């Protein structure tokens, strides 16, 4: 459908169009089958072209061909592309944030924070481009050198979700590019404009640095056409972010051809609050992690496990804090809680609240739809707090909405057991001023999650640390630390400069 068919040009449409133009995309040239919708108002923004399965295959062809040139470019030179991308992201931080806000419903502070994550990972990757270190090991044979080297992997397929439209792409792409890989990106159709904006800025950086244009490919398509990525042996790595259900389909399918995966799937994150906690600190950490982004983060806090001696006091503080949360169109910078992504997200929240009450829980605040008269096509809700007598089935399930379950415990060992007794294993936290409790929580006997925090909430990871989780969260790691190794292949090299041919382990032959 042509964008000229849109009946009205609202202020939101005008803001999005201006942001696209500033980035380098002319909205008047766009048309197609993908309808971009804003959860802020429910209105249609623009229509974008939809790629077919044949288009996806052609994108893989181009990326594979470009890889064969890109892999031989020195890594520090590859880093200049990522450096320039970071500069362009800095220049257009507000523009890209406007697109993220319009499509994901975030406050402008959170949207700009997401773009800042992109800038930060570019900085990290540029430094990493000079540190793709291998090791030299002592050889048991005289006149031999034993070492390992790291080499580019190939085409990396990136599949990303709606809730972080651009940051997760950058975590993968900045590292993949400095490692010498090419990238094919399949973003969520719900955030296609944000993806187009991020892609356009990177394409400009590539052009300015005289790198092969084909090393990045953007495919705007549905899950069925994108399945080409899962099955093509020229795509040795798939990095997929989404639900555990999606991961159950992606993981085995890629493994069947012996491909690699980085899976970032569901989270059911908890904070333990002990009697030795600073309750005011805990309160601030809990409220942001539970209600921020309207509960639509994989690291959203979904459970509070609080000691029975302070449960009533903390619950009262939480209810009072929730009643001060401003809910509405986050283009107003005083608004803290924006909309759910769509009707399906709202219905999922209502179904979960119903199940919680049927399983013995009590909704003590929130859960209602608000602003329905003002925004009939958008879904704003009050973040909910539910007290639960036990960790029932609904508590152990992830609902992608702002529901916070409150459970109590009597011993720290019991609290840690509750924290771990869910299928997911992404993020976790403990609030305590007791050093022994803190150390136990981050020990091997403590949290079983990929992220274990002390005196901060479950959301807001920095790019310097590896991001990811265990169990049904998928086991993948992205962003900082040594995550770069996922985008490369390791080779063990033995160099014989002795003039003799001794065999390892003293084996004699001939």
DSSP string for 350-411: HHHHHHHHHTT-EEEE---EE-TTT-TTSBEE--EEEE-SS--HHHHS--SSSEEEEEEESS
Q: Which residue has the tokens 């990396």?
A: 156
Helix, strand or coil for residue 154?
A: coil
- Whose CA is closest to 51, among 257, 229, 279? 229
φ/ψ region of 12 (left if φ > 0, alpha if ψ in -120 to 50, else beta) reads alpha
Instruction: For Cα atoms 250, 400, 43, give the angle at the middle one, nearest 5 degrees.
Output: 100
DSSP code for 502: P
Pairing of strands 182-186, 155-159: parallel
Do 262 and 477 touch, CB atoms closer than 8 A?
yes
- Whose CA is closest to 399, among 374, 378, 420, 381? 381
Do 254 and 228 touch, CB atoms closer than 8 A?
no
Do 256 and 232 touch, CB atoms closer than 8 A?
no
Angle between helices 93-104 and 108-128 (to 10 degrees): 120
Instruction: For Cα atoms 166, 169, 173, give the angle at the middle one, nearest 5 degrees.
Output: 135
- Residues annotated catalytic, as ranges: 264
Q: How far apart are CA 374 and CA 146, in angstroms?
A: 69
Q: How far apart are CA 432 and CA 241, in angstroms?
A: 32
User: Tokens for 501?
Assistant: 């041919």
Give the count of beta carbons closer than 10 Å to the beta carbon of residue 219.
24
Phi first, then psi, for residue 181 (nearest 5°) are -90, 160
Phi first, then psi, for residue 23 (nearest 5°) are -75, -30
Q: How far is CA 395 from CA 45, 69, 431, in A?
A: 36, 50, 21
**What is the edge-to-edge ordering of all strands in the sheet holding 144-152?**
136-137, 144-152, 488-496
Residues in contact with 340: Cβ distance below 8 Å, sequence separation at least 6, in sequence order: 39, 105, 294, 296, 346, 349, 379, 380, 381, 401
Do 402 and 337 touch, CB atoms closer than 8 A?
yes
């Amino acid at each position: 459908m042509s964008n000229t068919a849109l009946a009205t040009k609202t202020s939101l449409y005008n803001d999005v169009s201006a942001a696209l133009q500033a980035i380098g995309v002319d909205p008047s040239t766009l048309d197609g089958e993908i309808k971009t919708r804003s959860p802020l108002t429910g209105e249609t923004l623009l229509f974008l072209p939809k790629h077919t399965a044949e288009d996806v295959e052609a994108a893989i062809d181009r990326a594979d061909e470009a890889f064969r040139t890109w892999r031989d470019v020195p890594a520090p030179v590859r880093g200049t592309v990522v450096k320039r991308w970071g500069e362009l992201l800095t220049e257009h931080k507000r523009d890209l944030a406007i697109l993220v806000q319009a499509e994901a419903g975030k406050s402008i502070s959170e949207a700009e924070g997401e773009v800042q994550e992109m800038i930060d990972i570019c900085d990290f990757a540029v430094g990493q481009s000079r540190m793709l270190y291998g090791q030299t090991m002592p050889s048991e044979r005289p006149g031999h050198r034993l070492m390992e080297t790291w080499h580019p992997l190939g085409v990396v397929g990136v599949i990303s979700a709606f809730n972080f439209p651009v940051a997760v792409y950058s975590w993968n792409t900045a590292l993949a590019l400095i490692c010498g890989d090419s990238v094919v990106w399949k973003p969520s159709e719900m955030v296609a404009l944000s993806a187009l904006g991020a892609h356009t800025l990177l394409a400009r950086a590539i052009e300015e640095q005289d790198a092969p244009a084909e090393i990045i490919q953007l495919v705007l398509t549905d899950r069925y056409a994108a399945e080409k990525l899962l099955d093509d042996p020229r795509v040795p790595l798939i990095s997929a972010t989404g639900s555990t259900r999606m991961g159950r389909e992606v993981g085995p399918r890629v493994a069947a051809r012996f491909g690699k995966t980085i899976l970032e799937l569901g989270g059911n994150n908890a904070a333990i609050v002990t009697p030795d906690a600073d309750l005011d600190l805990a309160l601030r950490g809990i409220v942001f992690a539970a209600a921020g982004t309207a509960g639509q983060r994989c690291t959203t806090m979904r459970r509070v496990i609080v000691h029975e001696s302070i449960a009533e006091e903390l619950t009262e503080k939480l209810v009072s804090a929730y009643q001060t949360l401003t809910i509405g169109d986050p283009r107003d910078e005083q608004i803290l809680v924006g909309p759910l992504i769509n009707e399906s997200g709202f219905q999922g929240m209502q179904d979960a609240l119903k199940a919680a009450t049927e399983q013995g829980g009590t909704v003590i605040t929130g859960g209602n739809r608000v602003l329905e008269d003002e925004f009939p096509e958008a879904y704003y809700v009050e973040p909910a707090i539910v007290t639960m007598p036990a960790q029932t089935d609904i508590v152990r399930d992830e609902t992608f909405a702002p529901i916070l379950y409150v459970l109590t415990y009597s011993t720290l060992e019991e609290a840690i057991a509750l924290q771990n007794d869910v299928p997911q294993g992404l993020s976790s936290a403990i609030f305590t001023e007791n050093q022994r409790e803190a150390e136990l929580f981050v020990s091997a006997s403590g949290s079983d999650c990929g992220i274990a925090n002390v005196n901060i909430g479950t959301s807001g990871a920095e790019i310097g640390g590896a991001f990811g989780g265990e169990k049904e969260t998928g086991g993948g790691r992205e962003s900082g630390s040594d995550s770069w190794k996922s985008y490369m292949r390791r080779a063990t090299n033995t160099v014989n400069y002795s003039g003799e041919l001794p065999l390892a382990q003293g084996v004699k032959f001939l």
